[in-house]
Amino acid sequence: MASMYSKWKRFTFPFITLSIALLFLVTNYLFFTINYTRHLQDEFQNMTAYLKTLRNREWFEVVSQNIIEDEKINIGVVNMDRVRDEIHLRARKHVATYVKNPEWYEVVAREFRDETFNIGLVNVDGITDKIQIQTKAKMVNVHFDRADEGIQWADLAPERIDENSTCPNIPMPRFEDYRELDVIVARCGDGGLRDVFRLQVNLVVANLLVRSGRKDNQPVFAVFVGSCDPLWEIFRCDDLLWNEGNSWVYKPELTRIQKLVLMPFGPCQFVPPFSHSGEDLWRRLNHITSQNNHHHPPQREAYVTVLHTSEDYVCGAIVLAQSIIQSNSTKDLILLADDNISPQSITALRAAGWKTKRIQRIRSPYSQKNTYNEWNYSKLRIWQLTQYQKLIFIDADLIINRNFDKFFIYPQLTAAGNYQRHFFNSGLMLVEPSRCAFKTLMKKMMVVESYNGGDQGFLNEMFAWWHRLPAQLNYLKVFVDPKDRLHWIHKDVFAVHYTGLKPWKCFEERDCNWDVAEFHRYASNSAHKMWWKVYRSMPKNLRTYCSLDRYRVKNGTSPPKGHLVVNKGL
């Protein structure tokens, strides 16, 4: 009996135990295969539908069998959660052997080293765009309604607006749902330069970037994929980290973007504080700026003008400098001059307050020879003044009436409308110098046509998305209303733009635009007086320079009416 028991104990018991264990494993295995394989495969396919195209079926079978075998050996019982995690892990590795991460991803991942980061997809479908990323990066789709198809670019940049004008609504995402993003990947379609959807996508990305509150001072990145270029008005070439073909990675300076997203959606509304709702935005703009100045050296800012080709505008530039100085400006005054400006003129211009710098003029590729705007692209040289962060460019036929310094707060490109289609007037504009921007302008000028052959037409193509100043900041002296005979300009305008015949070519007593019927629209006694008032208040040496006979029509010929500068009263 004892031997029977011990024999049973020695052979039969282990045998039965083993059999039960085996039976358990087999049942388990069958149970798993029947009940869970389909579920897992389902879930797995949901996760990476893209795998289907990679013959994942065979792959799945092999991998899942392996995992189940491993699990069996380890613990005898298959832990479904662990199997699932394992499948996910191996799936990513497997994908890696077939599809490489997009290169932009590697660029961004390097920036984050080993840290995990969150990716927001804007108008990007991870599957159709083949964004297959095998890391710990989390991806979310950013939802927003597409801007109404009916909104045209002309609605964003109407010819005329007033302080109550507002922009058409461009829907944005619910930002509070996407606070933790480190990288925004966007595709913006290919609707061309003045495409509203392209702008919308760029604005969504910009807004998400500044609202990412994940970590203090942690960089955030914007990635563009697909066939459209990012808006360089928002995503500056200076912040471009990497570009290859149609993929772009930007590491934007956030303070700048913060200010940009405070601007209206386009030139459909005046920049703060000039619009109806602008006071609050103006305060916030100033707040961001003062905070930033607290951390960084003071902004380097200057007024700049350009003289080239002829000396016609030398006197204008002298009076302009004096008008800025009289406004108690604290900014630098920079004047770029080509070799056609004589050394004597340079001396006078320096005496007037300009720091001068010689430049080579630039020919407009789209202008006729010997036309009035043949060399107007010389203005583009201001982008080379990279010792300054911001410049307010002013044509020499303007004067400043009131202190203008606070307007350096605006981003590139801010200007006033030109009373003509959706264009801005390039006679006064805020720009941000940059080597790569200058290079881009030089490259594009060969292919981008200008509507008038001049810099204004070109710059309006390059900066189609601009920020609108009210007319009082660049008051174009053009009076088109036939009922308006007074042509009166309020003394409170910030800057007057002397379109038509220039004041320094007229008599002091009389605006000579009155003398020629076709120039009547430019005539204004009040504007004329403003210019001469600055002129009168200048030191004598500067006045003398301005009123030399240089502007007299040449020798002997009787001067056409009104084109004379007067030489008396000095």
Ligand X SMILES: *[C@@H]1O[C@H](CO)[C@@H](O)[C@H](O)[C@H]1NC(C)=O
In sequence order, the 6+-apart residues with CB closer than 8 A to the CB of 459 are 413, 424, 426, 429
Residue 73 burial (CB count, 10 A): 9
Interactions with ligand X, residue window 19-48 (CB under 6 A): 39, 42-43, 46
Burial (CB count <10 Å: 0-12, 13-18, 19+), residue 20: exposed
- Enter the tokens of residue 205: 């990305």
Nearer to ligand X, 412 or 450 (CB): 450
Question: CB of 380 within 8 A of CB of 441?
Answer: yes
202/376 with CB nearer ligand X: 376
- Contacts of 125 by beta carbon, 8 Å cutoff, 6+ apart: 141
Min dist CB 277 to ligand X, Å, is 11
Give, as ranges, the residues between 182 and 211 that touch ligand X (CB under 6 A).
none
Alpha carbon distance 551, 484 (integer Å): 31
Q: Which amino acid belongs to residue 135?
A: T
What does the DSSP 8-state code read for residue 429?
E
224, 230 Cβ separation under 8 angstroms? yes
Q: Does 554 participate in binding ligand X (rule CB under 6 A)?
A: yes
Angle at the Cα of 418 (from 416 to 419), degrees rounded to 5? 120
Residue the block writes with tokens 């993003």 = 181
Q: Pick the closer one to ligand X by CB: 264 or 454.
A: 454
The CA dihedral of 468, 472, 474, 475, to the nearest 10 degrees, is: 130
Binding flag, residue 5, ligand X (CB under 6 A): no
From candidates 103, 163, 280, 449, binder to ligand X by CB under 6 A:
163
Map residues 118-157 to x or -, x wherever contact with ligand X holds by CB under 6 A: ----------------------------------------
Stretch that binds ligand X, among 14-22, 158-166, 197-205, 386-394 (CB under 6 A): 158-166
Residues 6+ apart with CB under 8 A from 5: none
Q: What is the CA radius of gyration of the chain?
A: 34
Q: Can you tell me which of 328, 370, 557, 558 binds ligand X, judged by CB under 6 A?
A: 328
CB of 362 to ligand X, least distance (A): 12
List the one residue from 61, 69, 162, 190 that touches ligand X (CB under 6 A): 162
- Strands 138-142, 118-122: parallel, antiparallel or unpaired by DSSP? parallel
State the chain's maximal CA–CA distance in angstroms: 149
Alpha helices in 113-195 (DSSP H): 153-156
Q: Which is nearer to ligand X, 45 or 247 (CB)?
A: 45
Report the C-alpha gap between 359 and 346 in whole angstroms.
Answer: 13
Encoded amino acid at 151, one letter: I
- Report the 10 Å Cβ neighbour count for 340: 13
Cα 330 to Cα 353: distance, rounded to the nearest angstrom: 12
- If DSSP states are collapsed to H, E and C, what string results for 482-514? CCCCCCCCCCCCCEEECCCCCHHHCCCCCCHHH
9 binds ligand X (CB under 6 A): no
Cβ distance to ligand X smaller for residue 286 or 327: 327
- Residue 47 C-beta: closest distance to ligand X, Å: 8
Residue 327 near ligand X by CB under 6 A = yes
CB of 308 to ligand X, least distance (A): 6
Our CB check for ligand X shows the closer of 12 and 371 to be 371
Q: Which is nearer to ligand X, 46 or 128 (CB)?
A: 46
Give whichever of 3 and 330 is closer to ligand X, judged by the CB atom. 330
* 330 binds ligand X per the rule CB under 6 A: no
Each residue 280-309 as x (binds ligand X by CB under 6 A) or -, in order, gives -----------------------------x
Report the nearest approach of ligand X to the CB of residue 372 (Å). Answer: 5
Q: Which two tokens stand for residue 1?
A: 């009996």
Residues between 365 and 384 with contacts to ligand X, criterion CB under 6 A: 372-373, 376
Length of the chain: 570
Q: Give the shortest CB-454-to-ligand X separation in angstroms.
A: 2
In the list 555, 557, 568, 569, the residue contacting ligand X (rule: CB under 6 A) is 555
Closer residue to ligand X in complex, CB, 129/312: 312
Contacting ligand X (CB under 6 A), which of 247, 292, 403, 525? 403
Kindly report whether the peptide bond that precedes residue 173 is cis, defined as omega within 30 degrees of 0.
no
Minimum distance, C-beta of residue 407 to ligand X, in the bound complex (Å): 14
**Smallest separation, CB 355 to ligand X (Å):** 21
**Which residue among 456, 513, 524, 547 contacts ligand X (CB under 6 A)?**
456
Instruction: Count interface residues toward ligand X (CB under 6 A).
Output: 21
Closer CB to ligand X, 182 or 455, in the complex: 455
Mask 43-82, x = binds ligand X (CB under 6 A)?
Answer: x--x------------------------------------
472 is a contact residue toward ligand X (CB under 6 A): no
Q: Please give the residues from 423 up to 452 whose contact with ligand X meets the rule CB under 6 A.
A: 452
Q: Is 164 in the site for ligand X (CB under 6 A)?
A: yes
Q: Which is nearer to ligand X, 248 or 551 (CB)?
A: 551
Taking the complex as a whole, the smallest distance from the CB of residue 456 to ligand X amounts, in Å, to 5
By DSSP bridging, strand 240-244 and strand 475-476 are unpaired
- Residue 504: name the closest of 427, 567, 437, 433 by CA: 567
The beta-strand segments (E) located in 317-445 are: 332-337, 355-358, 390-394, 398-400, 414-417, 424-431
Q: Whole-number minimum distance, CB 367 to ligand X, in Å? A: 9
For residues 466 and 411, the answer to whether their CB atoms sit within 8 Å is no
Q: How far apart are CB 323 and ligand X at their closest, in Å?
A: 9
Distance CA 22, CA 45 (A): 32
List interacting residues with ligand X (CB under 6 A).
39, 42-43, 46, 162-164, 309, 327-328, 372-373, 376, 402-403, 452, 454-456, 554-555
